[in-house]
Amino acid sequence: MDPVVLGNAVEAAVQLSIVVRGEVDDREQVIWYAVGSGTIVSPDGLILTNNHLIAPAGVSDKLAELEQQLAAEGKVAHLEVEPDRFMVAASDGRHLPEPRYLAWVAATDPDLDLAILRIDADRDGTPLDEAGLALAPVPLGDSDAMNLGDPVHIFGFPAIGSGSLTYTTGVVSGFLFEEGVDSTAWMNSDAVTSGGNSGGAALNAAGQLVGIPTSGSALDCRIGDTNRDGTIGPEDVGCLPTGGSLTQLRPINLARPLLERVDAAVVGEIGTSAAATLTPESDPLAASLAAAQGCAARGDWRCATNFYRDALASAPGDNSLLAALYDAYLALGRQEAAAGRLDSARVAFHDAQRIDPGRMEAEAELSRIALYRSAISQDGFDGDRHFLEAVNEGAVSLYEDGAFVIEITQAGRISSFPLTTSSLTGQNYAAVLDLRGASGDGMITFETHTDPDGGQWVFAVDPGNRTWEVLEYSGDDAQFVPWAGAFPFPDTVVGEVTTIELRVTEGFPLLLVNGVDLAAAAATPLPEIGAAGELRFGALMTSEGTEPFTAEFESIGLYELA
């Protein structure tokens, strides 16, 4: 398939999930539980899918499956599904899908097992202007023009793909008819699909939507990692289909009346304006450049580097292409570092240096991660949500615009969250907080429960007053009390606070702001805190503060030191 056509299909493929709210082991949670696939078919957010995925009976079955899975893990759950609301997640084709939008059911045809969803809000529920979405749809094709042996390209999120976007190919193997349907009711294909592919896209060679995968191969079903925890065990409920029969595709021509019922103008738009963008380029340079730009637009930077290299093969020494390739390697390295794949990040940064040794950005990124051997945990707050959004007396925590926000409104209150789900075991480590901003009377905190003598410590940084201090937990007072400080930042801390790091070697800590060692500058020793136990990050409002303190975390990371 032409790279531009392929890129368009990747952008239009979405995973659909029910929105589940309730308590799991007495903790409030919001869970997005995948039910299948869908395809964006209009710029203003119409999604074509299967009705059985979003019908009440199907939703109830998925909720029961989730409850059974949690019970098998020994968890007590009391859950409810948010009615008629579905989370829409998208992928760049290389990484797991990320939740982006909420959608509601706009129309259904149970007899044909088809449904239309419409995006109307972002992932947090904030209403969106549909006209301003400007999504990249897949154009509609003509399923009646398909013949035996014609190629079909299947996109979806099957269970056997562990939740990732999966692309398989096959041919039209046959046609089926059924009572009540005047034209072809089904197209058969030998393309491999399974549970999760339902509702996805079957495209022709031109990248046009000609069918909706509705029933996958199901002759063979094996035990597998259905709960996606990385292991196969008794907690895995059900099985994973492995294929062995033909995939049935509902022809797109049967979906046109349903689409027209929702928005008659949309059907006229699809396949005309969109189809023009899918014409393969005859010029190799233009084709490679278009593919690279498409990959970059959806955030698949490895794909972008591949096609920029192809473009350079057609235009060696082109300075604009060299600059674009450098930028793509730089973005890839940052993406890999943010995901905790440090070795891969280093390779990308070195590739950027080879492209242009005179530019310094890649060298700076290499220096930033040089001390780290591997990532223990990392969170950029733009994917799965690992921390509880809550409104408590004196403290609020929430996800907002790709950041995790903590607001403290009660003087003397501290709110903290674990940096890792498992305890540290004595390794040397660095905990890094990347800040988007902070305001009010308070401090950013690292809280350690790693002291072998049972002590607890807080390392606190005040971005507004540009000071730092260390607090120790007092059992007598049942609170944290000052141990050292407050000390002013040294002059070498330039500009706003963007990075705070706690680096621990053999149990002895260093506290750094924007890469500057604060204790060394103040000629002040820090306490030995050990390196085994729990580490948390968070914020506090000073006891004498009057203005609520807000901290916005752009990313957090915990790394083993080299």
CATH code of residue 311: 1.25.40
Q: Which domain does 292 fall in, by range?
A: 284-370
Any domain includes 151:
yes
Residue 476 dihedral angles phi and psi, to the nearest 5°:
-65, -40
Q: Which of 453, 456, 434, 429 is nearest to 444 (CA)?
A: 434
User: Does 134 lie in the same domain as 52?
Assistant: yes
Q: Are strands 508-513 and 499-505 parallel, antiparallel or unpaired?
A: antiparallel
Any domain includes 131:
yes
User: Does 307 lie in the same domain as 244?
Assistant: no
Domain boundary among 276, 305, 331: 276
Cross-strand pairs, 458: 447, 471
- Find the helix packing angle between 361-369 and 319-338, rounded to 10°: 20
Q: Which of 102, 82, 81, 90 is nearest to 38 (CA)?
A: 90
User: Does 195 lie in the same domain as 161?
Assistant: yes
CATH code of residue 486: 2.60.120.200
> How many Cβ atoms from other residues are within 10 Å of residue 319's Cβ?
8
Any domain includes 381:
no
Any domain includes 384:
no
Any domain includes 449:
yes
Domain boundary among 276, 297, 323: 276
Per-residue pLDDT of the chain (562 residues; tens, 9 = 90+): 777 888 889 999 999 999 998 888 877 888 889 999 999 999 999 999 999 999 999 899 889 988 888 888 888 888 999 888 999 999 888 888 888 999 999 999 999 999 999 999 988 888 998 888 889 899 999 998 888 899 999 999 987 656 789 999 999 999 988 888 878 889 999 887 776 788 999 999 889 999 999 864 444 444 555 555 666 665 655 555 444 456 889 999 999 999 998 876 656 544 443 343 444 556 889 888 988 988 888 888 988 998 999 999 999 999 999 999 999 999 999 888 887 889 889 999 999 999 999 999 999 999 988 999 888 988 888 777 788 788 888 899 999 888 999 999 999 999 999 988 888 888 999 999 999 999 999 999 999 998 787 789 999 999 999 999 999 988 887 788 899 989 999 999 999 999 999 999 999 999 999 999 999 999 999 999 998 999 999 999 999 999 999 999 999 999 999 8
What is the model's pLDDT at position 378? 86
Please count the structural domains in the chain: 3
Between CA 383 and CA 238 the distance in angstroms is 26
CATH code of residue 38: 2.40.10.120
User: Does 79 lie in the same domain as 32?
Assistant: yes
Any domain includes 295:
yes
User: Does 521 lie in the same domain as 498?
Assistant: yes
Any domain includes 385:
no
User: Does 552 lie in the same domain as 432?
Assistant: yes
User: Does 173 lie in the same domain as 91?
Assistant: yes
Any domain includes 380:
no
User: Does 311 lie in the same domain as 272?
Assistant: no
